[in-house]
Amino acid sequence: MTTVEAALRRMKGGRPVQAVDRPTGAGLIRAMDVVISLASLVFFLPTLLLIALVVRMQDGGPALFRQKRIGRSGAQFDCFKFRSMVVDAETRTPDPTDPDWAARRKLRQDPRVTPVGRVLRLSSLDELPQLLNVLKGDMSLVGPRPIVPDEAILYGRRFAAYCTVRPGLTGLWQVSGRNDVAYPRRVAMDVWLVRNLTPQTYLVLIARTVPAILRREGVY
């Protein structure tokens, strides 16, 4: 049994999550997801192609990075990003005793990040391919940050709340300091967003995303 499956069983009294409550205005939110993500993909197509070319040219590796993340109802999906690390990054496990990694699951100075990748991260351009995840229905434009299976246990009893909505390309954590936020605080932000996700909250957080990206707070 995987980590996420075990966590799901604990969250639901020994039964895997089968169905969850839909947030208020879920139908409208999904409609906005489709329209905005499709329009954004068309608008950013030249940028997407250019970034893909640059990433491949730097070391000959793939332009896209796929990683299993947890989505709505605990289902796993392939989350897309432009590759910002060296090709064998997943075999170079960070030191679990590093204070940054222990507190935030991120490293301020990660030696695995490539020069091109650092630029992509600082500008958040590495996450543009997730518009495909939004269009597919794996993600929403607004929601909790998609977590990897090993992070499910860190949510504890709040993991069930995480599973009630699609994870988001942006959200409360993403506009509130991102990686500068300690992990328990991030979990609390995700739970708040789940409980307060409405079309109005959705639009407000999208509007706050561009200024947050420009400020580059918590981006590394």
In a domain, 120, yes or no: yes
For residue 200, count CB atoms less than 10 angstroms from its CB and return exposed for 0-12, middle for 13-18, buried for 19 or more: exposed
pLDDT at 15 over 70: no
Q: How many domains does the chain have?
A: 1
Each residue of 75-126: pLDDT tens digit?
999 999 999 989 887 777 776 666 665 565 676 777 888 999 999 999 999 9
In a domain, 220, yes or no: no
Predicted confidence at residue 18, as pLDDT, reads 38
CA distance 108 to 84: 14
Domain that holds residue 134: 3-14+22-215
Shortest CA distance to 193 belongs to which of 182, 206, 212? 206
In a domain, 170, yes or no: yes
In a domain, 73, yes or no: yes
In a domain, 123, yes or no: yes
pTM of the model: 0.82
Predicted confidence at residue 41, as pLDDT, reads 97
Mean pLDDT of 14-21: 42
In a domain, 97, yes or no: yes
